[in-house]
Structure 1
Amino acid sequence: MLDNKQAHQSNVSVSLPNELSVLGEANFEGFRSQLTRVTSAFSEEKKAAIEQLLQQHSKQMIAAFSLSDFISHIATQYPVEFIECVDELCRQPEHQFLHYQQAFSDLLAATDTELELHANIRRFRHLCMLEIAWRDMLYQADIKESLLAVSELADVLITQTNDWLYAKACQRYGAPEPYISENGNGEVSPPEAQKLLILGMGKLGGRELNFSSDIDLIFVYPQAGETQHPRKPIEHSQFFTKLAQKLIAALHQTTIDGQAYRVDMRLRPLGDSGPLVVSMGAFEAYYLEQGREWERFAMQKARVLNSDSAAVCELQNIIRPFVYRKYLDFTTVESLRAMKQLISNELARRNLQNNIKLGRGGIREVEFYIQSLQMIHAGKVTECQTRSILSSFEMLQKHEFLHPEIAEELRSSYLFLRQVEHYLQAFNDEQTQTLPDDKIKQSRLCALLSEESVEAYMQTILQHTNRIHQHFSALIEDSNEAGASSEGDITAVTSSENGQGFEDLWQLDLDKEEIFVILHSALECADASEHARATENLTDLLLDFKHKSTKHRIGQRGHNTLNKLIPLVLQELIEFTEHAAEQKTAKGLEALSKAIFGILLTILGRTAYLDLLLENPAVRQRLYTLSATSTWVAEQIKRFPLLLDELLHPAYLQTDDDDIRQWRDDYQSELRLQMLRIEPEDIEGQMDSLRYFKLTQQLRIAAADISGTLPINKVSDKLSVLAEVILHHVIDLAWHQVCEKYGVLEGTSAQNKGLGVIAYGKLGGLELGYGSDLDIVFIHDIDLSLSTNGKKSISCSEFFVKLVQRVSHIFTVKTYLDELYEIDLRLRPSGNSGLLISHIDTYQQYQENEAWTWEHQALVRARYIYGNEELGNKFTKLRHQVLARPREQAVLRKEVADMREKMRTHLDKTNDYKIDLKQTSGGIADLEFLTQFWVLANTRTVPVLSKWTDNLRILDELAAHQVIDEELAQGLQKAYLYIRSQVHRHNLTNKDIVHSEEMSALMALVKRTFEQTFTG
């Protein structure tokens, strides 16, 4: 790098080749023409002075216009301002930036509107950057001074613009309440104005800003409160958010004068999903609870740009302990190694050979090297807590943490690359670190670096980058790196073990196209269009999950776990779908991936579940299997992540040969043990425990159903028994709570409550599904004249109504585990207009004298499931009497057919795209109406028909007593089981129902039988 700083105005330090001189002369003539137009109205004396400057400094101008399009453009945009300062530019080769503060302050003092503000910011910025570029290129100013000049200019523009906008905001909204802080000794600082505190990050924070860099900012305000407006005060959060938005617009917005800075706010807490401005308390809480390792690196350079104040000191005191720990721990070294590996992976993936920042041996490797040493040592040796890379070199060497020879090599190479970077960006004010392939820019770089050819400067750059990378590679040695590929082979991602090759997809900031390419090589599909579709779907899912995961506060431990888990999941999902015949399609992979990422998104804030999945490969495989087979199971786990615990001990893998009685005993014992852990007075805990029991048992049933260890004809039996056992326990809980408040009725006890429950519908017929509600009716046989014996005595009727209300509340109240079951009480006497519970005599009178035919149909499937034996016998006798009463066949046939037609009209959802297997003609409802009709029509002569509540055994009895022939009974049973299994599978998997020839034939049998029975 050249170090010529000759101050003679006629001399420049760069020798220009002919093609650049020609370009410079053409640009000079363009500038001269623009200057002539602008100064046409000037006095002759002033025109003469300008012409003299043109003649005197034309050589320097032509050289500047040759080397930088930016200089040429800005000079032409502001020709008068440029020509007025050109004399000083030629006489003062060294940077002159100490005047920025006062010069911009004077400019703002004469600024009245935001429109003027935007114009003045841009004009001031462009002209100052022109001066910096002029001195860099013509006189090759010291790069350290150049970086400082660019940083100082940014500081001045940001802070003074903030102050100007703050004053305007105070005029409109009122000033924020004064800030008063208290130190650790309890001393209170004097009140000071509450300002928007601006953290400069990255190179701005280190005062080493690039020529055309983005500025990374974080906004913080000291305390919550309200502005001091006499009529309409607003919250401090609103005030400072509005102020921050104005500041960003003033710097970032592109106007007729261009843009001052590209403002990047992504380093703020929670990134793009976080608030634009946070209070100091929220800022501290975030980094205390959730700050991640990469944020520690980012905060190493954080600098509060505002002038010193109590609030500024407090903010700096929050940052320092987050970044620097007093003692080195294992996680620090491990995180440094992981970040170093990420850098290496990104180099291999992107193959950035000509990028002097991100490429091999580039600027970033030096920065990481120095920041890593600081992270390790600066907690103890506070003098090493510097923001500037160059200052850090000095301090680390001073305290012998960096060998002098290594320090000198890295420092000189770093400064060389920063100089090249500075030149590249000054060519046209572009943020680039890529060596040019444009011949003009290559010629410029040759001239500025005093090299004879492109090959020569490329060789010089390569020497520096090789030296940097050698030291970088030796940093924090990792034995695992020995076999790592350095060639950037894109197929390497699929060949590594344990998902390591998929780390890049998750941890690197890759765009959609890069992710697509990697996944495309990892997936296998025979069909090309399927291959592309599968890749596209998985790419979109991963990007969406990445975006949404940034909105969750999971802390460093959670991020560490996630960084290990996601690569494993990606690899295993692909392997799973390749080996599962049903899933080896784009649609199958999409469905499974969507389900798994949905579950992962739900548990992001629960590190224990992330750890569970990470540490248990078998649990992950079970999760894939269940989710791939059943969307219902996947949705249940997504809604209730605690179900993941069930996958640790998969009892469903064992064949279940038990019967209903054994299931009931097992459920009762397990539920009793679970409820013993809950204090009797903890009502919420009891309700949550019941819900947890139901959810886990349902998951076990579904898993056994999916795996084939529980035959499908037993699934509904087991679900029905589960509901009954839970109902028993809920009634016991409700009884205890109501009796505690009102006392008990004479003749009742916890063992004999005088209460009975009748199950109708699917529960009555032992045909319950996974999402079924419970159709139940409550009855009792207690003397209505009695009252309770508690301090607050109530009548018998009131007692049972309150009991039923309490039972319903326990079942249906929403907790974080949702409701227990939905309860439907509409089949009680008189429906919704009737009492919640009826005396058995009232129930009997209603059934015998007032009930409609459809209510008697419903009674066919009614089953006594709770209560004392005596009350149960009364109900059984009553049910038989009602079902066996004499009925006129023609009237019964018409009433049943009319009700079926009304149901079909209102409930059948069959259309051109799907069929409603329950309500359509030939579906389950037709078959159920047939059995109900036959029971109502024949129980008087065939009493055994009232014994059963399920369709299959009713059909057996109908055939056995020749009400229908055996062949028809078997055909209807087969149809019923087949259609039910299809509905069941659809509910479990959400897959389209397949219309096979067998299904069509069976449904045709049901339809034909229905028509012959009711219209024949």
Structure 2
Amino acid sequence: MQDTYSKLMIADALRRARAEAPFLALLLDREPALAARLDSGALPGLAEAVIDDPAMPVMRRLRLERRRLALLVAIGDLAGAYDLTTVTGALSDFADRALDAAITAAIAERTPEACAVGFAAIALGKQGSHELNYSSDIDPILIFDPDTLPLRPREAPDEAAVRIARRVVEILQARDGDGYVLRVDLRLRPSPEVTAIALPVDAAISYYESLALPWERAAFIRARAAAGDLALGTRFLDTIRPFIWRRALDFGAIGEIRGISRRIRDHHAQGQMFGPGFDLKRGRGGIREIEFFAQIHQLIHGGRDMSVRAPATRDALATLAEAGWIARDEAQAMTTAYTLFRTIEHRAQMVEDRQTHHLPTGAALDGLARLHGLDDGAALLALLRPHVAATARSYDALDPEDGDSLSHDAAHLEQQLAEAGFADHDAAARRIEQWRGGSYPALRSPAAREALEAVLPGLVEALGAAPDPQGALVRLDVMLARLPSAINFFRLLEARPALARLLGAILSYTPTLAEALGRRPELFDGLIDATALDPVGPVETLMAEMADAGNDFQAHLDHVRRIVGEKRFALGTQIVAGVSDPLDVSAGYARVAEAAIGVLAEATVAEFTARHGRVPGSELVILALGRMGGGALTHASDLDLIYLFTGDYMAESDGEKSLGAVLYYNRLAQRVSGALSVPTASGPLYEIDTRLRPSGTQGPLVVSLDGFARYQHEDAWTWEHMALTRARPVFGSASARAATQGVIDSVLRGDRPARDVVADAIAMRAEMAAHKPPKGPLDAKLSPGGLVDLEFAVHVVQLTHRTGFAPHLGAAIVELEALGLVPAGLAAAHDFLTRLLVTLRLVAPDAQVPAPATRALIARALGVADWGGVVASFAATRQEVSDFWAMVAGSRGVE
């Protein structure tokens, strides 16, 4: 009776296979001997899939064995003769044999006389737990021992290992008319994007002991030495066992494990809802949730309770229940569900030999149901539905959503991001998932990801409320990618929520500051001090802060660059935060630059004199011109400098390597320029422009003060005298500065060649307009009626009337207004244009009309009600300046 029953079951299995599974029908055609025995009602043993023919090439033998095994396993499964354990065990055993045969063959092909040692495959995933799918790939980690791996003459071990690994993959994956053996996925190895496909065993051990991620702990629950040098593989696993099973479980580790459980639903938005197309593996309430339910409990308790370390999922559920860590009825329900899900998954894979985990849709779902012995797709869904629902409930209870946290459910997370203000919420969700997955070095540690989770809700809220949420998120991503560690950054944001909003504004409004932050994320640390948003102190205080007591010149350069970077960043942030007038910020930029000039020039002089001595009765003087001379820089300003020296140009230095004064100071000035401009590990400092020196680029870098005076008194052109109106000594002793200022004053008050100042100015302005047109409609500097026109007009008035020579343009205009030499209200025009220039250098450096939210920031910085007021004021101011320039240009300017 039993034989008759078995024959009927086999006959029914064959009928369903031929009718509903094209792949199985093909195998029955390709294996006529096996098909004949099956048709007779016999079920050959699985051992009959093995081909004992040493002469047959290994690739062909393994393909044929796989084909025969696939047929026998499938029919035995469909007939009810093989349970899930038998099916997955047979498939896993074959994968082990095939992988071992491939390794042996790959080594023998290269070194025929050598034993297959020094190379091992560590099976992970379902192969590792003897639960391999019907049509699964395998996920091994390939390791080798450089000391025992067989090598060809003069061959490096790592090169040999990679060649062996490539051949192993080729043997298993290559397809021909007989099909293939196994698909191989090597991406579970450490850092697959940068590491070789075969790893030295000691390097692999080092990685897992120090750098591995939480999901890798979960993966190694099911790891085992499966093929090749099993002693090598076992030694590796024994060594890293403490990494997997930790006896002490702190709150950070629990946070890691919760993160693993949450991410399961984040990767695959489709196939989550139950019904046709449901993903049996990744769907809500599916196979993966049962596996993770078991693994999470194993990670929590397995460090102290060795009984729960079972690799296979159903075994793990049983041991956890036996130990009392989970409820017995819950373990039984999940075991039943897992068995059913895996069985139906196998049915889906039998149809076309595809590694699919989805239920099909439409007529294909009915076909899958019939293959399983049901009437139609509705019956199959009815069979699965209660188990899916029960699994989802148990998994949800494991880690309920915290209402105050950012969701780990993909659909809910996207909804939260959309509500926060992210238009492309799908892209934002993917980026956040990358962070949660430890994709960057700064996010790999448990503490970093715990800190990330703590700050994410406030950060998303702040970025979502920013004017450009998506752009802010992308720029933050760039920051995180460059950070060596993110813990302090996140803790800072957590402790100071207002800083998260400020960060969102910086990343949205100011490409200049955002780029600086991307290069040097540590700049943000300076904002933790409440005084960071206060005006910077006087030059003397800044110089004291930049001073360095050490003797390492390079370290001193780095020190100054760090402080200057922090100060400039904080000054720009003051405008974004709306706490400072851009005019005050502009003056702050200049004080910071002057302090840097003083400190670095002093340090450079000290280093230079140690070798070359000093020129007796002489010293270096640095003269600032342009916006630096006027004490009103923007974030992007370069420094216009002239280098001078006092004393006799025929003198020589008194050092070990004596130099003549001219050569001495030219070399010294070059080094000062380098100290101020050459980037170091702490970033760049300033661009230095020395073209305003006597004779421009044709003249020497440094001239004596006497030579400078003679040139200015006798040979300088109008444009050079215009530049001199904003000159200011910023380095040198008090007496040297006074002497230099005396030369400037005498020249400006009339001790200079007679020129047609107006005609020269008109010609220069026309040439500038031809070669440097406005960058955009908001160019406050180069547009007609902008700051350049205002500067030209004021300098003409200063030179022709020989008065009002304050280096700061605004202060000079106030003096000239008081004398009645310029129209009333011109100082207000200067202030408006300067505020606009300083602000736009941060938020719209291209001088184009920015996004609406940024327009509001500009209006606030300028003290205007709205953007319409900005546009109107800009037009009116430009007209006022143009009228003034036209008036000056029409006057007589010959002195």
TM-score, normalisation: structure 1: 0.75
Deviation at 1:305, TM superposition (A): 2.9
Cα pair distance change 1:537/1:986, threshold 3 Å: farther
Deviation at 1:862, TM superposition (A): 0.9
> Which residue of 58, 71, 95 corresponds with 1:154?
95
Q: Distance in 2 between matches of 1:855 and 1:435?
A: 81
Q: Distance in 2 between matches of 1:1003 and 1:402?
A: 77
Deviation at 1:758, TM superposition (A): 0.8
Match of 2:681 in 1: 816
Counterpart residue identity of residue 554, structure 2? E
CA RMSD of aligned residues (A): 4.2
Q: CA offsets per residue over residues 365-401 of structure 1, 9 Å max, x none?
A: 4433443443344444556544333554676678777
Match of 2:460 in 1: 570
Q: Distance in 1 between matches of 2:269 and 2:216?
A: 24
Stretch moving more, 640-649 or 829-838: 829-838
Stretch moving more, 607-616 or 636-645: 607-616
Deviation at 1:133, TM superposition (A): 0.9
Match of 2:840 in 1: 986
Deviation at 1:97, TM superposition (A): 3.7
Q: CA offsets per residue over residues 534-566 of structure 1, 9 Å max, x none?
A: 546646765787899357673333333334444
Match of 1:210 in 2: 133
Count, aligned residues: 867
Q: Distance in 2 between matches of 1:360 and 1:902?
A: 71
Q: Distance in 2 between matches of 1:566 and 1:274?
A: 31
> Which residue of 497, 502, 514 corresponds with 2:407?
502
Q: CA offsets per residue over residues 712-771 of structure 1, 9 Å max, x none?
A: 2222222212211222222222232223334444457xxxxx332211111111221112
Q: Distance in 2 between matches of 1:597 and 1:443?
A: 47
Stretch moving more, 288-297 or 130-139: 130-139
> Which residue of 726, 736, 746 corresponds with 1:861?
726
Stretch moving more, 853-862 or 402-411: 402-411
Cα pair distance change 1:592/1:88, threshold 3 Å: closer
1:948 and 2:806 matched: yes
Q: Which runs of 5+ in 2 are unaligned?
A: 850-866
- Decide whether the 8 Å contact of 1:384 with 1:392 is kept in 2: yes
Q: CA offsets per residue over residues 660-682 of structure 1, 9 Å max, x none?
A: xx62344244445xx3xxx5223
- Decide whether the 8 Å contact of 1:811 with 1:821 is kept in 2: yes
Deviation at 1:292, TM superposition (A): 1.8
Cα pair distance change 1:240/1:887, threshold 3 Å: same
1:971-982 paired onto structure 2 within 5 Å: 971=826, 973-982=827-836
Deviation at 1:446, TM superposition (A): 6.4
- Decide whether the 8 Å contact of 2:265 with 2:409 is kept in 1: no
Cα pair distance change 1:268/1:98, threshold 3 Å: farther
Match of 2:773 in 1: 908
Q: Distance in 2 between matches of 1:497 and 1:416?
A: 34
Cα pair distance change 1:277/1:1007, threshold 3 Å: farther
Match of 2:223 in 1: 302
Residue 829 of structure 1 aligns to a residue whose secondary structure is: coil
Match of 1:591 in 2: 471
Deviation at 1:435, TM superposition (A): 5.3
Match of 1:711 in 2: 581
> Which residue of 678, 681, 684 corresponds with 2:551?
681
- Decide whether the 8 Å contact of 2:590 with 2:633 is kept in 1: yes
Residue 732 of structure 1 aligns to a residue whose secondary structure is: helix
- Decide whether the 8 Å contact of 2:21 with 2:351 is kept in 1: yes
Residue 46 of structure 2 aligns to a residue whose secondary structure is: coil
Cα pair distance change 1:618/1:170, threshold 3 Å: farther
Stretch moving more, 794-803 or 716-725: 794-803
Q: CA offsets per residue over residues 933-962 of structure 1, 9 Å max, x none?
A: 3333332xxxx33x3123233334444445
Deviation at 1:298, TM superposition (A): 0.7
Counterpart residue identity of residue 304, structure 1? A
Q: Distance in 2 between matches of 1:162 and 1:700?
A: 60
> Which residue of 350, 368, 371 corresponds with 1:426?
350
Match of 1:220 in 2: 143
1:560 and 2:450 matched: yes
Match of 2:8 in 1: 12
> Which residue of 700, 705, 709 corresponds with 1:844?
709
Q: CA offsets per residue over residues 819-841 of structure 1, 9 Å max, x none?
A: 23222223223334443332211
Cα pair distance change 1:893/1:459, threshold 3 Å: closer
Match of 2:856 in 1: none
Q: Distance in 1 between matches of 2:147 and 2:885?
A: 73
Cα pair distance change 1:809/1:360, threshold 3 Å: closer
1:375 and 2:299 matched: yes
1:446-465 paired onto structure 2 within 5 Å: 448=372, 461=384
Match of 1:622 in 2: 502
Q: Distance in 1 between matches of 2:250 and 2:417?
A: 40
1:881 and 2:746 matched: yes
Residue 19 of structure 2 aligns to a residue whose secondary structure is: helix
Q: CA offsets per residue over residues 42-71 of structure 1, 9 Å max, x none?
A: xxxxxxxxxxxxxxxxxx754541353321
- Decide whether the 8 Å contact of 1:756 with 1:866 is kept in 2: yes
Q: CA offsets per residue over residues 780-835 of structure 1, 9 Å max, x none?
A: 22344554444444444454344333322322232222123222223223334443
Q: Distance in 2 between matches of 1:93 and 1:9?
A: 13
Match of 2:862 in 1: none
Q: Distance in 2 between matches of 1:875 and 1:332?
A: 67
- Decide whether the 8 Å contact of 1:860 with 1:883 is kept in 2: yes
- Decide whether the 8 Å contact of 1:554 with 1:607 is kept in 2: no
Match of 2:853 in 1: none
Deviation at 1:294, TM superposition (A): 1.6
Q: Distance in 1 between matches of 2:685 and 2:344?
A: 68
Deviation at 1:241, TM superposition (A): 4.3
- Decide whether the 8 Å contact of 1:223 with 1:281 is kept in 2: no
TM-score, normalisation: structure 2: 0.84
Counterpart residue identity of residue 97, structure 2? V
Match of 1:1000 in 2: 875
Q: Distance in 1 between matches of 2:584 and 2:335?
A: 76
Q: Distance in 2 between matches of 1:918 and 1:270?
A: 50
> Which residue of 908, 916, 919 corresponds with 2:782?
919
Residue 966 of structure 1 aligns to a residue whose secondary structure is: coil
Cα pair distance change 1:170/1:824, threshold 3 Å: farther
Q: CA offsets per residue over residues 584-613 of structure 1, 9 Å max, x none?
A: xxxx33333333333333336443323333
Deviation at 1:999, TM superposition (A): 2.2
Deviation at 1:322, TM superposition (A): 1.8
Residue 502 of structure 1 aligns to a residue whose secondary structure is: coil
Q: Distance in 1 between matches of 2:505 and 2:368?
A: 62
Counterpart residue identity of residue 122, structure 2? L
Match of 1:522 in 2: 419
Counterpart residue identity of residue 848, structure 2? D
Q: Distance in 1 between matches of 2:147 and 2:574?
A: 55
Cα pair distance change 1:694/1:224, threshold 3 Å: farther
Cα pair distance change 1:839/1:814, threshold 3 Å: same
Match of 2:595 in 1: 725
Cα pair distance change 1:309/1:706, threshold 3 Å: closer
Q: CA offsets per residue over residues 156-208 of structure 1, 9 Å max, x none?
A: 3334334444555679xxx9xx9xxxxxxxxxxxx97543x433221011121
Q: Distance in 2 between matches of 1:300 and 1:466?
A: 27
Q: Which runs of 5+ in 1 are unaligned?
A: 17-59, 110-116, 179-190, 485-495, 506-513, 525-530, 578-582, 749-753
Match of 1:800 in 2: 665
Residue 9 of structure 2 aligns to a residue whose secondary structure is: coil
1:966 and 2:823 matched: yes
